[in-house]
Amino acid sequence: MINNSKVFDDFFVDQFAEEMKRKLDKKREEGRSGWADKKDCPHDNLVKLLREHSSKGDPVDVANFAMMLWARGEETVSRNDINFYWQMVTMLPRYSFLNIDGSVEKHENWCGEYLSRKEVLNLFEEIFQYYFTFKVCP
């Protein structure tokens, strides 16, 4: 016996997939194609389009870009993200840190800015999750 949740989920997945197909048809008619070719359509370009369309508000566009990345076996994060986090790690020694008790640890090459311990921990948590999840090294 199929429960109502499955019927409900399947119905809307099917409806959404039809909308995705309609949008892809429309874009092909406008001359857009080639997303499957990794040479002509690099990974970072698809990630950029996914992010740009996320802010535009059309979930069908977002789903289509996500589908393209998924079909190519790629993630929704770009190499530029990795480089950003690596730059942040290498910059940390230039900052001074505010301790919980209000004391300050200054580094010899201090750039004049402070990071709280919480900010540093949050940054490292993001970096750890990224590298652990995707197993990528810069």
86 in the same domain as 41:
no
Is residue 14's pLDDT more than 90?
Answer: yes
33 in the same domain as 84:
no
As a whole number of angstroms, the distance between CA 136 and CA 75 comes to: 12
Is residue 72's pLDDT more than 60?
Answer: yes
Give the residue with greater pLDDT, 4 vs 107.
4
51, 71, 91: which is the final residue of a domain?
71
53 in the same domain as 112:
no
Is residue 117's pLDDT more than 70?
Answer: no
115 in the same domain as 65:
no
- Residue 43 structural domain: 4-71
pLDDT at 19: 97
With b meaning 16 or more CB within 10 Å and e meaning fewer, what string describes 62-85? bbbbbebbeeeeeebbbeebbeeb
Q: pLDDT grade, residue 5 (50/70/90)?
A: confident
Beta strands in the chain (DSSP E): 96-98, 104-105, 114-116
Q: pLDDT grade, residue 36 (50/70/90)?
A: very high
71, 103, 119: which is the final residue of a domain?
71
65 in the same domain as 19:
yes
Number of domains in the chain: 2
Is residue 53's pLDDT more than 60?
Answer: yes
